[in-house]
Amino acid sequence: MRFADIQGNDELVRAFVGMVDSGRVPHAIMLHEDDGGGGVPIALAFLQYLFCKNRAEGDSCGACPSCNKVAKLIHPDIHFIYPVNTGVSTDFAAQWRQLVLSNPLFTENDLSEALGIEGKNAMIKVDEAKAVLDVLSLYALERGYRALVMYLPEKMNKEAANRLLKAVEEPPEKTLFLLVTHNPDAVLTTIASRCLRLRVMPRKGVVRSVGQGDDPELMRRLMQAVLSRDLMGALEAGESLAALPSRERAKGFCRYAAERLRLVFLLQQGLDSLVNVPEEELPELRDWAKRSPKTFPRKASDALGRAISLIDRNVNVKIIFTDLADRLYTAI
């Protein structure tokens, strides 16, 4: 993956080029992307530029041995961690490689399907952290940088996060941590505070693949009920959410709803240029922005984040979505 393959995010690309060219590469970087927003390919393009032996004019050559290994996700000094249900990430290396190479703009649901863990609770556990620390304690095989790419650090359990904390605080020389997150506020604060946080902006006019939780009609029903002050309608929408076929689908809807509300917030602030959706979706979003108070998107996003947390804790989904409907109704 070269920078030339990245569409959009020109400022972010220039920042990465400047880091490498100046020799001032931070030891920990956290990329905040929307689900399916392209954080992983940007991280790979950055690593390919960092490892390239013949980089020129602000991009990797794409032809040297290092570039070929990074592009094929087989570089011995680049390690990947992502949430799994059992075992550790290396047990699913082939599936991860196939997914990233075939669909760089993959979503969380795409990853669950690729790993065969749909509907199961996936996380990054302490065994993963131990294995990574063992690898990072060794010399880089190619005598350059070593890099750890972590997808969804917010899904680390506390024990794993605490185990990795010291390595992030005091990393070995030429060791780079690259975190790709959808919810930076859910990453352990002591880790997040030691990372350079960069936002991966959605590409203008590009619609990502539809995730399992993306249900515009259900979102529309919920919002219309809430905005119309129809509590029974909101509770009925909550019943429909509770009937979704899996917890992953339920979490997917919450993430989808949170993203739509982020767009509502941007419209309320007059930042229309940052709202990257097809033109036909704008009238509805503008209607929601006009009819809701400016405090609503933040309160609603907090409620959706709480719902995701409760789903992960295995709380009854009917209780969760009844509570969510009530909180959204109260926030108007």
Q: pLDDT tens digits, residue range 234-271?
A: 999 999 999 988 888 888 899 889 989 989 999 999 98
Report the domain count for the chain: 2
* CATH for 133: 3.40.50.300
* CATH for 261: 1.20.272
* One domain, residues 81 and 229: no
Per-residue pLDDT reduced to its tens digit, 146-203: 999 999 999 998 888 888 888 888 888 888 999 999 888 788 888 888 899 898 887 6
Tokens of 258: 């949170």
* One domain, residues 132 and 40: yes
Give me the pLDDT at residue 247, please: 84
Radius of gyration (Cα) for the chain, nearest Å?
21
Residue 205: inside a domain: no
* One domain, residues 175 and 251: no
pTM score above 0.75: no
Residue 204: inside a domain: no
Span 208-221, mean pLDDT?
Answer: 70
**Angstrom distance (rounded) from CA 137 to CA 148:** 12
pLDDT-derived band at 81, boundaries 50, 70, 90? very high
**Angstrom distance (rounded) from CA 139 to CA 121:** 34
* One domain, residues 182 and 255: no
Per-residue pLDDT at 206 exceeds 60: no
The last residue of a domain, from among 143, 166, 199: 199
Go through the chain and tell me how many residues it has. Answer: 332
* One domain, residues 31 and 174: yes
Map residue 84 onto helix, strand or coil: strand
The last residue of a domain, from among 168, 199, 230: 199
Per-residue pLDDT at 207 exceeds 70: no
The last residue of a domain, from among 143, 170, 199: 199
Asked if 168 and 135 touch (Cβ cutoff 8 Å), the reply is no
Domain hosting 251: range is: 216-331
Handedness of CA 61, 62, 64, 67 (dihedral sign): positive
DSSP bridge pairs for 329? none
* One domain, residues 33 and 144: yes
Residue 249: inside a domain: yes
* One domain, residues 77 and 137: yes
Residue-wise DSSP of 273-320: GG--S-GGGHHHHHHHHHHS-TTHHHHHHHHHHHHHHHHHTT--HHHH
* One domain, residues 316 and 248: yes
Residue 208: inside a domain: no
* One domain, residues 30 and 151: yes
Asked which of 101-105, 117-121, 145-149, 314-318 is least confident by mean pLDDT, the reply is 117-121
Tokens of 144: 């350059």
Give me the pLDDT at residue 203, please: 62
Per-residue pLDDT at 208 exceeds 70: no
* Averaged pLDDT of the chain: 89
